[in-house]
């Protein structure tokens, strides 16, 4: 099993689940936004291998040692990406190089080495901002950023590789994923990790727009469960599936809950809406239920509790 981007937020939780299920796991990561600390629990495990490498470069050579150790790669979970939407708008060429051309290298590796199945981390950023909510997989795909365009282009490539070479795949379009290990130090990170970090520090929280915009927040271990099911079950072969909770939450609501949970006195400030921020976001659950038997197990309150505990632990170990 190969997990690209396995040192990152969602990738490392997926590695945790795969390892706990007894798989042999190789992680390929260039550590641009990921951390070895996210994988520290598996470092000494003989079923685990870390490969420092870049998906924009040749893959066969860096992966050779892992293949020699564990045998040919049967399945690939592909998370490695440039994940910041604003960065993709400033520099679409780099986004294409990493998210599209880098993924083409993964698909070529999969084809040449007869990999049984590829999972691809797609995004709700493929949808038209004006698509009526809840969005289903049949809603209009009309990305508002190069990041979304490249995610959609990869989905089209996956379909092409299936038709031409019989490559099996599942693409999951994630809604807003949150949980421990989401890096709050970046402005491009998830709103929950940034707000929790600020609430614990007592720093000001900035809400863009009036705070009545909505998001569908899904907890990271639920996402990892969906990924692993998609890798091992034939039912979602060839399918593109939204992964969220189906629950629409306003930014004001989430802020109030975070401030209460963290017992924080952070001041909340409102700033004008940022261009490109969508007003409402929530998914239908029908396809995820039918093809993955997916129902989120961690509700928002419990997920926030876990994430808050992690933010506090990070802060106290840094102090």
Among 2, 3, 11, 195, binds ligand NAD (CB under 6 A): 11
User: Which residue lies nearer to ligand NAD by CB, 23 or 224?
Assistant: 224
Beta strand spans in 5-92 (E):
25-29, 48-52, 75-78
Q: How many CB atoms lie within 10 A of CB 271?
A: 9
Q: Which residues 6+ apart lie within 8 Å of 25 measured at CB?
A: 1, 2, 3, 6, 15, 18, 19, 42, 47, 48, 49
Rule CB under 6 A: say whether 157 interacts with ligand NAD. no
Q: How near is the Cβ of 11 to ligand NAD at its closest, in Å? A: 5
What element of type H or E holds 218? Answer: strand 217-219
- With CB under 6 A as the contact rule, the residue among 42, 59, 102, 283 that binds ligand NAD is 102
Cβ 240 to ligand NAD, closest distance in Å? 13
**109 catalytic per annotation:** no
- Count how many Cα atoms sit within 13 Å of the Cα of residue 207 in the half-sphere of its side chain: 20
Instruction: Tell me: does residue 123 bind ligand NAD (CB under 6 A).
Output: yes
For ligand NAD (CB under 6 A), the number of binding residues is 28
Q: Tell me whether residue 51 or residue 264 sits nearer to ligand NAD (CB atom).
A: 51
Among 47, 56, 91, 116, binds ligand NAD (CB under 6 A): 56
290 part of the interface to ligand NAD, by CB under 6 A: no
| Angle formed by the axes of helices 9-20 and 220-232, nearest 10° | 60
**With CB under 6 A as the contact rule, which of the stretches 52-60, 132-140, 161-169, 275-283 interacts with ligand NAD?**
52-60
Residue 77 is a binding residue for ligand NAD (CB under 6 A)? no
Q: Pick from 16, 25, 29, 199 the residue near ligand NAD by CB under 6 A.
A: 29
Cβ partners under 8 Å of residue 84, min gap 6: 147, 186, 188
Among positions 125-144, residues that touch ligand NAD (CB under 6 A) are none
Query: What CA–CA distance (Å, rounded) separates 56 from 51?
Result: 14
Catalytic residue among 109, 127, 147, 161: 147
With contact defined as beta carbons under 8 Å apart, do 105 and 55 qualify?
yes
Query: Residue 79 or 161: which CB sits closer to ligand NAD?
Result: 79
Q: Is the Cβ of residue 31 or residue 290 nearer to ligand NAD in the bound state?
A: 31
CA distances from 178 to 31, 36, 83, 108, 245 (A): 20, 19, 14, 31, 12
Q: Which of 23, 63, 80, 200 contacts ligand NAD by CB under 6 A?
A: 80
d(CA 23, CA 15): 9
Q: Does 294 bind ligand NAD (CB under 6 A)?
A: no
Give min distance, CB of 79 to ligand NAD, in A: 4
Block residue for tokens 């400033």 = 90
Instruction: Give 140-145 contacts, CB < 8 A, sequence gap 24+.
Output: 144/276, 144/278, 145/85, 145/88, 145/89, 145/276
Would you count residue 7 as binding ligand NAD (CB under 6 A)? yes
Binding site for ligand NAD (CB under 6 A): 5, 7-11, 29-34, 54-56, 79-83, 98, 102, 121, 123, 174, 176-177, 190
Catalytic residues: 147
């Amino acid at each position: 099993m190969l997990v690209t981007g396995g040192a990152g937020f969602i990738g490392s939780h997926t590695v945790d689940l795969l390892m706990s299920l007894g798989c042999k796991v190789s992680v390929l990561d260039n550590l641009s936004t990921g951390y070895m600390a996210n994988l520290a629990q598996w470092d000494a495990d003989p079923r685990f291998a870390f490969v420092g490498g870049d998906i924009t470069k040749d893959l066969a050579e860096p992966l050779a040692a892992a293949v020699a150790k564990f045998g040919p790669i049967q399945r690939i979970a592909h998370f490695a990406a440039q994940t910041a939407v604003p960065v993709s708008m400033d520099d679409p060429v780099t986004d294409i190089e990493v998210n599209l051309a880098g993924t083409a290298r993964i698909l070529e590796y999969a084809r040449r080495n007869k990999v049984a199945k590829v999972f691809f981390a797609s995004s709700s950023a493929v949808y038209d901002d004006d698509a009526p909510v809840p969005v289903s997989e049949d809603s209009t795909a009309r990305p508002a950023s190069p990041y979304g365009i490249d995610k959609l282009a990869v989905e089209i490539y996956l379909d092409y590789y299936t038709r031409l070479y019989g490559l099996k795949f599942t693409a999951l379009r994630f809604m807003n994923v949150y949980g421990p290990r989401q890096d709050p130090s970046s402005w491009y990170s998830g709103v929950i990790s940034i707000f929790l970090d600020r609430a614990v520090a007592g720093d000001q929280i900035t809400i863009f727009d009036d705070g009545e915009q909505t998001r569908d927040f899904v907890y990271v271990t639920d996402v990892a469960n969906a990924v692993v099911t998609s890798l091992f079950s034939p039912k979602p072969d060839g399918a593109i599936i939204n992964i969220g909770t189906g629950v629409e939450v306003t930014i004001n609501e989430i802020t109030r809950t975070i401030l209460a949970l963290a017992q924080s006195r952070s001041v909340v400030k409102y700033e004008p809406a940022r261009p490109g921020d969508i007003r409402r976001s929530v998914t239908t659950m029908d396809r995820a239920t039918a093809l993955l038997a997916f129902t989120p197990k961690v509700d928002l309150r419990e997920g926030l509790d876990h994430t808050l505990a992690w933010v506090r632990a990070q802060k106290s170990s840094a102090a």
